[in-house]
Amino acid sequence: MKKLVFFFVSFFILTSCLRAQVSTDITFCGGAPVCAGENELVANITVLQQSGARPRFSPDGQRIVFDRQNPDGYYDVYLTDLQGQFLTAVTEGNTGIGQKNNGNAIFDPSGQYLIFISEVDEHYSDFLKWTGDPGMGLFSNLWATDPDGGSFWQLTDIPIKQALGDGIPAMAAVNPLFAPDGVTLLWTERYAEGGNHNWGLWRIKAADFVVTADGPQLENERVLFTPQTGTYVTAMGFLSPTELVLSGNLDGQHEYGMDEYVYDLQTGMLQNLTDTPALWEEDASVTPGGQVIFMSNAYSPYVYDFSTPDWAGQRMERDYIIMDRNGSDQQRLTYFNDPAAPEYLGRPVIVAASDVSPDGKYLVGTLGVDFGDGRRNMVLKIILIEFASP
């Protein structure tokens, strides 16, 4: 029981700090609509949505799916274009899907469907709205819908904990990702209790995404990767059909010290690209040319206290780093926390989940700006970075 309490306390702290619904608009470069970055690779930075997280491009690169927290305290799925024009409220108020947390969405390779996670209506501690945050996926299943939200299809059916002593772990499904074959759907599953501060035991699942006469469904569901060392792993993207970028503590380091890895699906070989066990490096995306962009606190003056479950309440700054596919030539891509940089906002900033457009021209990312005085009050926004050259 004590471990489960630690897990929920830790994530309560996270979501109490990451509140997207604060009316605090930002601009870069002193109010300019676009702003060139400190790194010459960054031609322009602009705020695409003043509230939102976890953006992903459509296959044609013309639309972006994202989620945001609404005044009711729950997240929903939306579509926008590259100019930030609001297109569709996919799940908000939609009777075809549960009206708790919906988010962490991606397009399927055809562009005809969205895959997202949806919190079940009834579960242990379901009166706490933060338990189903789309960044964690607790008590959530994978669902599919058309981009208009006209029809919905449930894809997974994980066991759902209903009571503290029922013997069922607090399971999660999160971070869906399609393989280059366009058929294999991957996602991350929390399948057991464990880890530091009961972070949990996590693994990568996979299944075949099949569209039948009755709509999309998953077949041949299987476990693709379970850490042999460490407790946490999540799939980020593919460098090739057989090379999968992972984030996790796969060398046995603390969960707060995640690294970026490449996992060879054919040989089972695992390569640590960053090897910085004191730094948090996650939320990677892969460019068409095979570079990896990820978040890191490498340039932050603050260090994590590994002894406390209050990881999200700790002072932190993060920026994006770009590196070659083998971990070489690492360079700082954004300078949101550098007072001398044009993109500096004057407040602590973190970056998180991102995606590179299919043509390699843009990076759409999650930006968190800390508007708190004392206790952190992180406001999540969506930014669009235009590269000087793809």
DSSP codes joined into one string, 4-43: HHHHHHHHHHHHHHB---------BTTTBSSB--SSTTEE
The pLDDT score that the predictor gives to residue 124 is 95
Mean pLDDT of 278-304: 96
- Extended beta strands in 146-200, E state: 152-154, 172-178, 184-192
- What are the tokens at 386? 């235009």
Q: Residues near 64 by Cβ (< 8 Å), separated by ≥ 6?
A: 48, 55, 56, 57, 58, 79, 80, 81, 82, 364, 382
The pLDDT score that the predictor gives to residue 374 is 66
Can you count the helices (H) and strands (E) in the chain?
A: 1, 24
Q: Which of 135, 153, 163, 262 is nearest to 214 (CA)?
A: 153
CA dihedral for 254, 258, 261, 267, sign (positive or negative): positive
pLDDT in tens, 4-41: 544 544 444 444 444 444 458 999 988 877 899 999 99
The pLDDT score that the predictor gives to residue 31 is 82
- Lowest-pLDDT choice from 65-79, 274-288, 362-376: 362-376
The pLDDT score that the predictor gives to residue 5 is 43
The pLDDT score that the predictor gives to residue 17 is 44
* Angle at the Cα of 18 from the Cα atoms of 6 and 152, rounded to 5 degrees: 90
Structure confidence at residue 256 as a pLDDT band (50, 70, 90): very high
CA dihedral for 74, 68, 135, 374, sign (positive or negative): negative
The pLDDT score that the predictor gives to residue 310 is 84
Q: Which of 141, 240, 260, 127 is nearest to 190 (CA)?
A: 141
Separation CA 244–CA 22 (nearest Å): 36
Q: What is the largest CA-CA distance in the chain?
A: 57
